[in-house]
Amino acid sequence: MKCSARTVALGAVAAVVTPLLAASPAQAETRNPVVFVHGLSSSASTWNTWIGKFKADGYDSSELYTWSYDWKQSNKTTASQLAAKVAQVRAATGAERVDIVTHSMGALSARWYVKFNGGTSYVDDFVSVAGVNHGTDLSAFCAFYTSCWEMVAGSSFLGTLNSGDETPGSVGYLALYSTCDALVNPDSSAKLNGATNVSVGCISHNDMNDHAGNYTKVRDFIA
């Protein structure tokens, strides 16, 4: 049977389009699972609003991981526990890397994990939301907890964490900071050298990881 020119052309188009359509599910599967790390005097529930937004935007529960830890302990201890959590997530999902989203003090333990516990090999994108990256004056009021003492500006913990490269490895770093954060003082403490530092205007500390605009920035960064 003879084929018309139109039939041949349609066949050629189908040959190109079909592989692209077939690749779409595979491409979706390459999205990194997200591990959320809460801060001082908090728990996994602090992420409920954003978890709901991620799900509304197409993420599955199997891609979103919150966890609670003893926030009074040293951030170094939490970093070791985070390393175990990331290993668990990778084993469960088969993912090579994860994205980490942190709030407040959670940025410190997560950064310690990335810098000193091998996290540069397993983290793709790292987000610090109102992170106490260079300390805060207010932590002196709760310095009887190890974690709070480590947040005092000039502490040996912060000196070690911030020595050399603050954003090591091939990880993508985003730091969101408020211009009126009453708990991170000074506001500039939330910035990270080498990161994409974004001022989000005047948003209270506890609203930083509950804010719709901040969510969009984080979602787009780790996409």
Confidence tier at 10 by pLDDT (50, 70, 90):
very low
pLDDT on residue 30: 79
Give dist(CA 65, CA 98) in Å, integer.
Answer: 10
Q: What would the pLDDT profile of 154-178 be if each residue is shown by its tens digit?
A: 999 999 999 999 999 999 999 999 9
- The percentage of the chain sitting over the pLDDT mark of 90, rounded to a whole number, equals 83
pLDDT on residue 13: 38
Q: What would the pLDDT profile of 180-192 be if each residue is shown by its tens digit?
A: 999 999 999 999 9
- Supply the pTM of this predicted model: 0.86
Confidence tier at 140 by pLDDT (50, 70, 90):
confident
